[in-house]
Amino acid sequence: MNKTDLNHIGARPFAFPYSKDSIGLVVIDMQRDFLEDGGFGASLGNDVSRLRAIVPTVARLIAGFRAAGLPVIHTRECHKPDLSDLPPAKRDRGNPSLRIGEEGPMGRLLVAGEPGTEIVPDLAPIAGELVIDKPGKGAFYHTDLGQFLSDKGLKQLVFAGVTTEVCVQTTMREANDRGFDCLLATDATESYFQHFKDAAIDMIIAQGGIVGWACETDTILEAIHE
Ligand code: TIU
């Protein structure tokens, strides 16, 4: 495609170029285990209410992509029930009240098929939307995401979800290394730590967009509905 054929979304550090034929939304890990009491995020001692606050904004972003006929992809961080994809380096980290695979109020923490791995109802996937279960922080590691994006001809990815500096940033870096242009919706992502969110956004857009771009949800929605 000729560069002059591209549309643009106002963003930092400069306008984000995209085509409606090749842009999609990736919503990272908006699952009960990170957003609700009794889940994995809470087991690490985090205030999960910070993350719940973005649900309405993420819902608007998803609705906007659906209304524009653009693809929406969801991810969930979770492991196989036999935990064969959970390395000790992840399982034994820190001193949580419950470890991954242990039984909590929403079932076994971060285990596929348990209630805690469900995406919160307000953001539930609809028929036809890809849901990627991923064992790592990055959504490309040990998943079919790369193949799916290539099959669909997607080249620009808008990112939302949690947490900004862990799974969202890791996935954006993986995507950038694979040749995707990445735009972060800054009010549709959140961290348990405000300063980590701010620093992650700064890192992503620094050095001329070393990892990608950033802007607010409304700016994205206005652009894709023009
Ligand atoms: N702990 C934390 O901030 N995040 C994670 O463990 N996973 C995701 O970010 N999804």
Whether 2 has a pLDDT exceeding 80, the answer reads no
CB 25 near ligand 1, within 6 Å = no
Instruction: Calculate mean pLDDT across residues 27-34.
Output: 98
Instruction: Specify the pLDDT at position 3.
Output: 54
Q: Please name the amino acid found at residue 142.
A: H
Q: 10 Å Cβ neighbour count for 152?
A: 14
**Which residue's CA is minimally distant from atom 7 of ligand 1?**
167
Q: Can 78 be counted among the known catalytic residues?
A: no
Q: Can 177 be counted among the known catalytic residues?
A: no
| pTM (two decimals) | 0.97
> Could you tell me the CA-to-CA distances from 61 to 54, 66, 104, 129 in Å, in that order?
11, 9, 31, 15
CB 167 near ligand 1, within 6 Å = yes
When mean pLDDT is compared across 15-19, 97-101, 140-144, 200-204, the lowest value belongs to: 97-101
The two three-digit tokens of residue 42, written as one number: 């809470």
Mean pLDDT over the full length of the chain: 97
Question: For 157-168, how does the pLDDT look when each residue is reduced to its tens digit (9 = 90+)?
Answer: 999 999 999 999
> Quick one: which atom of ligand 1 is closest to the CA of 163?
9
Confidence grade of residue 93 (pLDDT, cut at 50, 70, 90): confident
Instruction: Specify the pLDDT at position 88.
Output: 96
DSSP code per residue over 182-195: EEEEEEEEE-SSHH
**Using the 8-state DSSP alphabet, how is residue 180 labeled?**
-
Whether 5 has a pLDDT exceeding 80, the answer reads no
Confidence grade of residue 4 (pLDDT, cut at 50, 70, 90): low
Helix orientation angle between 194-209 and 169-177, rounded to the nearest 10 degrees = 20
**Element (DSSP H or E) covering residue 157:** strand 156-162
CB 33 near ligand 1, within 6 Å = no
> Is 101 exposed, middle or buried, given 0-12, 13-18 or 19+ CB atoms closer than 10 A?
middle
Kindly name the residue from 78, 167, 182, 215 that is annotated as catalytic.
Answer: 167
Whether 216 has a pLDDT exceeding 60, the answer reads yes
3-state secondary structure labels for all residues of 17-62: EECCCCEEEEEECCEHHHHCCCCHHHHCCCCCHHHHCCHHHHHHHH
Whether 131 has a pLDDT exceeding 90, the answer reads yes
